[in-house]
Structure 1
Amino acid sequence: MSTYQSQSTQTIRGTQSFVSTTNWVWKHPGVVALEVLWRWLWGIPALWITARTAKRILNVHPVDWTALQHISLLEPMHAAEILAAIINVFATPVTQALTWLAPLLMLTWVAAHTIGRTIVLHRIDRSLQPRPATFLLLTLLRLLALALAFALWWYLLLWASTTTIADHVAQGREPNVVGYCAWVIIFTMGVFMLWGIVSWVFSMAPLMAVARQLTAIQAIRASLRLGALKQKLVEINLVMGIVKLALIVLTMVFSASPLPFQSVATPEFLRAWWAAAGIFYLLSSDFFHVARAVAYLQLYRRSAGE
């Protein structure tokens, strides 16, 4: 039996369980190292391919960086004209690149996630029996659900830009930039909350599959029939979303902290600082991904024991 399973089985809130689980994960860096390893083994080649593709597009369609630097929200019409011109130039080559790059990244991510997370879960609990085919299918379903969430978010942003900017310009009025920003914030937070409420199923189903040797459909059904435990899982999922937002804000603060000293800081130092800030975010994000998996498995074991 794994170390994390020896904790008390008393009824506790999901956030309380998450805090204790985070402490357990912190004391087992080897588990986090495995998570970081498989993610980076996929992420570094994926980033290299994406950067090479972007560089090839920029070589054929160079960007007027000077014009971009002079964009200001105080002149929304001028900014819109510059952005529209750039989008018109890049729309076709970017679309053509995405037709092969997006499926490649998605399929390789599904394979890497299946292999890597299976190894991590077996390290957390040796009693879990691998089910790679089921895990792969559930990972693909999660990725498709995430794509639908992004599609919904993008559709809402298009609606906001049409009603607050495009329609105003067509009628000869000033675009409502403040209204657009307000809608962006509302829709972004709304889709974020919606994903936090429903996405726990796609995190719990793989655990159910390896814990009870279920098929993909059986694992999803079993996840939806967890009764009162679902509330704790949703709670942890929302906390995870808030933590990731906090990490993004913290990384942005770290990235911006040397800017007041830009006159004395060398470009090499700034690039190294920004790279360190990015690595900090990635390592922290991987840590909390492991913490969520352990928290879900711990809550399920306790619920089954009770």
Structure 2
Amino acid sequence: MNRLREDDLVASGDGTVRGTQSFVHTLSECWSRPSLTLLEVLWRWIYGIPALLLVWHVAKGILSTVSLNTAALKTMTVTDPLQASETLAEAMAVLLPPVSRVAIWLVPLLLVTWVIWSSIGRTIVLRRADNRLHARVGTMILLQAIRVIALAGSFLLWFLCLQWYAQRTVTGPMTRGAEPNLVGYFALSILTTLGLFTLWAIVSWFLSIAPLLAMLCNLGAGSSLTASFRLGPLKSKLVEVNLVMGIVKIALLVLAMVFSATPLPFESIATQDFLNVWWTIVALLYFIASDFFHVARAVAYLKFWRAYESPAEAATEI
């Protein structure tokens, strides 16, 4: 029987469950059950590899039909920000029309496929973690679609912010004959990215717990969303885990960038083939680690819910 261990949550002296410390114990449990991560990696990569190949094929087709000045892109330097900005603007002017035409059909295709496949994959992983859960694939698809729409809205807000920053610090000064403020643009972009990332981690907890509630209590999409806002003290634990996950994602990204840059001091003796293999290995390790923490968050949510549920609810699940 695949059951979660529910006796390793860390509690304070007054009996209150500690979120972060309990999450660390959950990481240990997930590490001792590698099949959960393997399943997560499997269903994600079954989708991701064909999706990347399709995007690569489409990108090659676009590049073969446009006149892109690749030589100018290769010779860009940070010591001449005005020239670099003009080169990037020219490249975007060439690429944006064909990319927009392809994105009209490619983006919806990838999103719809992701919503359906990820709902099936996540159901398999969660039932492997705890076989008391109900299979609610149709409900999962609806809830995942809502999550994707909300996430797409956050990306749209991020993109609009970057456009406004570019107008204020790069394109606006260039039209007046002044030098663009690339440092200011990148500083604002980084701060906005981190801010929106943190905000999403704080407010998106109900979109993550709703599919679990559907499987825990055999609920529909609407009932799951409604129930996710009626969790009482459990809400703070979910927000805490989401914030920890946000920090972990940033840490993983920083580590990936550091390891990617490790061979660069030896660029004079390292071949391009070696660098390509090294970067591929770093990317694979990053995605595997990210998948592991996604599984751990889902398992932590399950354990917290069972720790806070009422005896009546527990009886319906056993």
Task: Please report the TM-score for the alignment, with normalisation by the length of structure 2.
Answer: 0.92
Q: Out of 190, 202, 223, which is 1:185 matched to?
A: 190
CA distance in 1, matches of 2:39, 2:248: 21
AA aligned to 1:204 is I
Residue 239 (str. 1) matches residue 240 (str. 2): no
Secondary structure, aligned partner of 2:309: helix
Q: Which amino acid in the other structure matches residue 171 of structure 1?
A: R
Give the Cα separation in 2 of the matches to 1:123 and 1:223: 23
Give the corresponding residue for 1:105: 110
For 2:314, the equivalent position in structure 1 comes to: none
**Structure-2 residue corresponding to 1:267:** 272
Q: 2:4 maps to which residue?
A: 3
Q: Paired residue for 1:141?
A: 146
Paired residue secondary structure (1:206) = helix
Say whether residues 1:70 and 2:84 are aligned partners.
Answer: no
What stretches of structure 2 of length at least 5 have no aligned partner?
A: 312-318
| Equivalent-residue separation in structure 2 for 1:9 and 1:252 (angstroms) | 34
The farther-off stretch of 128-137 and 155-164 is 155-164
Give the length in aligned residue pairs: 306
- Cα distance in 1 between the residues matched to 2:43 and 2:190: 33
- Alignment of 1:36 onto 2:41: yes
Question: Are the structure 2 counterparts of residues 260 and 159 from structure 1 closer, same or farther at C-alpha, using a change threshold of 3 Å?
Answer: same
Aligned 8 A contact 1:4 1:21 in 2? no
> Per-residue deviation at 1:62?
4.8
Counterpart of 2:137 (choices 127, 132, 139) is 132
The whole-number CA distance in structure 2 between the counterparts of 1:8 and 1:234 is 17
Q: Which amino acid aligns with 1:21?
A: T
Q: CA deviation at 1:181?
A: 2.1
Residue in 2 that maps onto 1:296: 301
Percent of pairs with identical residues: 48
Secondary structure at the residue paired with 1:86? helix
| RMSD of aligned Cα (Å) | 1.5
Instruction: Provide Cα deviations, 1:106-159, integer angstroms capped at 9, x if missing partner.
Output: 011111111100000100111101111110000000000000000011111111
Q: 1:193 to 1:8 in 2, by over 3 A?
A: closer
Indicate if the aligned counterparts of 2:68 and 2:94 stay in contact, CA closer than 8 A.
no
Q: CA deviation at 1:280?
A: 0.3
1:222-280 Cα shifts (integer Å, max 9, x gaps): 11111121111111111111111111111111111112222222222211111100000
> Retained in 1: the 8 A contact 2:3–2:130?
yes
| 2:66 and 2:95 in contact (8 A); partners too | yes
Partner of residue 62, structure 2: 57
Residue 154 in structure 1 maps to residue 159 in structure 2: yes
Q: Is the 8 A contact 2:123 2:135 kept in 1?
A: yes
- 1:257 is matched with 262
- What SS is found at the alignment partner of 1:4? coil
Q: Tell me which residue corresponds to 1:212.
A: 217
Helix, strand or coil at the partner of 2:232: coil
Q: Is 1:203 aligned with 2:208?
A: yes
* One-letter amino acid of the counterpart of residue 247, structure 1: L
Asked if 1:118 corresponds to 2:119, the answer is: no
Q: Counterparts of 1:81 and 1:170 in 2: how far apart (Å)?
A: 11
Query: Are the counterparts in 2 of residues 134 and 215 from structure 1 also a CA contact under 8 Å?
Result: yes
Q: Which runs of 5+ in 1 are unaligned?
A: none
Give secondary structure in 2 for the equivalent of 1:227.
coil
* Separation (CA, whole Å) in 1 of partners of 2:286 and 2:97: 32
Deviation of 1:8 after TM superposition, in Å, equals: 4.8
Give me the whole-angstrom Cα distance separating, in 1, the residues matched to 2:219 and 2:84.
54
For residues 9 and 187 of structure 1, the distance between their equivalents in structure 2, rounded to whole angstroms, comes to 35
Deviating beyond 6 angstroms after TM superposition, the runs of 4 or more aligned structure 1 residues are: none
